[in-house]
Amino acid sequence: MKRLAPILILLVAVGISVALYLLRPEPQQVSPQRPATKIEIMQVQPQTVRLTVASQGTVLPKIESELAVEVSGRIIEMSPDFRAGGRFQRGDILFRIDPADYEAAAAAAAAELATARLALAQEEALAEQAAADWAALGQGEASALTLRQPQLAQARANIASVEAALRRTERDLQRTGISAPYDGLVLSKSVDLGQYVMASPASPVARIYATDTAEVRLPLAQREAEFLNDPAQGGSGVTLSTDGPNGKRTWPARFVRFEATVDPSSRLIYAVAEIQAPFEHGLRRGMFVQAEFEGRQLESVYVLPRYALRGSESVYRVTPDNTLVTQAVDIVKTDEAQAILSGGLEPGDQIVTSPIAYFVENMPVEVIANE
């Protein structure tokens, strides 16, 4: 019996295990419930938007000239404003070349003209006398030489030549005073009082620029250029600005034209803005400025924060069933702050604005904030 006891115990244990297995309850099938993702949304409505385009450029005068002298001589007088940064008005004498030689040449030309006029008067008298003599004594038709017509023509031509020479000497005399061609500023000069200057266009003595108008060349992508109104039809307003130690300063300007070509290396096109009386209001030649164009007005577009875009051309839209779907959109323009959309949305659509760690199409969501 002692030998059979362990065997009996083992058989009983096996039987109990088999019974427990056969009588076990069926397990319940439970589907795991994923919690709804909490999101923030904004409800969009169509609106009217004025496009803006940003750029930057350098302020340069519309007119900038190299000043050269037209007569040679020594500088005997110089305006105190004829220095780098000096301001002048149209017609001001910037400096004067010694006029003595040109005054002498003008006097000599005037004397030569008086002599030529005397010779013409004498020749006219001789011609009248010759005509009278022929009428009294001559027979037939008199020759031109007999009537002194060639001599008379020569005397008149001599007067015209001397008069031209006199005008030239008077013009040279006038050119000894170098006058300003417009209101402006001196950028640089290379001559000074007592210096001898030569009449040579290849050797300018100063560089000056006009102060009435300045221009800024502003590079734009070709797509950005399409956002601007045609300058031939009134153009667009432009606001120029700089940030300085005293805060931001702004100046109004006007978009006047596009340059005629696209830069082949950068594929950019340059728009030109014009500023009236720029140097009276704190702008300086060569100053770097930011520019903001006022562009075309768009009707029935949607404006979203830039971060609401998912990928390049899509957003996340909440359906009426509180699920999330990807919605393709048509983007007109984006910048660091916002995106302007022309299509793909309907009035009242709910667009996700908060970050989403993971996305599955038609995933359930819970709206916690509505902008």
User: 226 and 194: one domain?
Assistant: no
For residues 172-198, average pLDDT: 94
Task: Say if 315 falls within a structural domain.
Answer: yes
For residues 187-201, average pLDDT: 93
Contact status, residue 212 vs residue 145, Cβ threshold 8 Å: no
pLDDT of residue 26: 66
What is the three-class DSSP state of 359? coil
Has residue 211 got a pLDDT over 90? yes
User: 220 and 345: one domain?
Assistant: no
DSSP 145: T
Has residue 201 got a pLDDT over 90? no
Task: Say if 3 falls within a structural domain.
Answer: no
Has residue 371 got a pLDDT over 90? no
For residues 57-76, average pLDDT: 95
Residue 217 pairs with which residues in a beta bridge? 272
Task: Tell me the C-alpha distance between 304 and 42, whole Å.
Answer: 9
**Phi/psi of residue 35, each to 5°?**
-65, 145
Contact status, residue 270 vs residue 217, Cβ threshold 8 Å: yes
- What confidence tens digit (pLDDT) does each residue in 84-101 have? 999 999 999 999 999 999
For residues 265-294, average pLDDT: 93
Residue 358 tokens read as 């993971």
Task: Say if 25 falls within a structural domain.
Answer: no
Task: Tell me the C-alpha distance between 369 and 371, whole Å.
Answer: 7
Percent of the chain with pLDDT over 90: 57
For residues 239-248, average pLDDT: 89
User: 218 and 288: one domain?
Assistant: yes
pLDDT of residue 111: 94
User: 165 and 294: one domain?
Assistant: no
User: 183 and 232: one domain?
Assistant: no
Task: Tell me the C-alpha distance between 214 and 57, whole Å.
Answer: 12
pLDDT of residue 29: 61
Q: CATH code at 187?
A: 2.40.50.100
Sheet holding 184-189, edge to edge: 64-67, 206-210, 184-189, 87-88
pLDDT band at residue 367, thresholds of 50, 70 and 90? confident
User: 202 and 91: one domain?
Assistant: yes
Contact status, residue 340 vs residue 12, Cβ threshold 8 Å: no
CA atoms 171, 172, 173, 179: torsion sign: positive
- What confidence tens digit (pLDDT) does each residue in 132-178 have? 777 777 677 777 787 678 888 888 899 999 999 999 999 999 999 99
E strand map for 148-236:
177-179, 184-189, 196-197, 206-210, 213-221
User: 217 and 291: one domain?
Assistant: yes
Q: Which domain holds residue 364?
A: 38-49+300-370
Contact status, residue 48 vs residue 332, Cβ threshold 8 Å: no
Has residue 280 got a pLDDT over 90? no
Overall domain count for the chain: 4
Task: Tell me the C-alpha distance between 216 and 3, whole Å.
Answer: 113
Task: Tell me the C-alpha distance between 105 and 98, whole Å.
Answer: 13
Has residue 75 got a pLDDT over 80? yes
Residue 190 exposure: Cα atoms within 13 Å on the Cβ side: 11
For every residue of 46-77, DSSP letters joined together read -EEEEEEEEEEEEEEES-EEEE--SS-EEEEE
User: 181 and 314: one domain?
Assistant: no
User: 287 and 159: one domain?
Assistant: no
Task: Tell me the C-alpha distance between 326 and 315, whole Å.
Answer: 6
- What confidence tens digit (pLDDT) does each residue in 19-48 have? 666 666 666 665 556 677 888 889 999 999
pLDDT band at residue 125, thresholds of 50, 70 and 90? confident
- What confidence tens digit (pLDDT) does each residue in 1-14 have? 556 666 666 666 66
User: 294 and 215: one domain?
Assistant: yes
pLDDT of residue 358: 82
Task: Tell me the C-alpha distance between 107 and 140, whole Å.
Answer: 47
User: 110 and 201: one domain?
Assistant: no
pLDDT band at residue 129, thresholds of 50, 70 and 90? confident
Contact status, residue 294 vs residue 238, Cβ threshold 8 Å: yes
For residues 188-192, average pLDDT: 94
Query: Mean of the per-residue pLDDT values for the chain?
Result: 87
Q: Which of 87, 25, 117, 47 is nearest to 340 (CA)?
A: 47
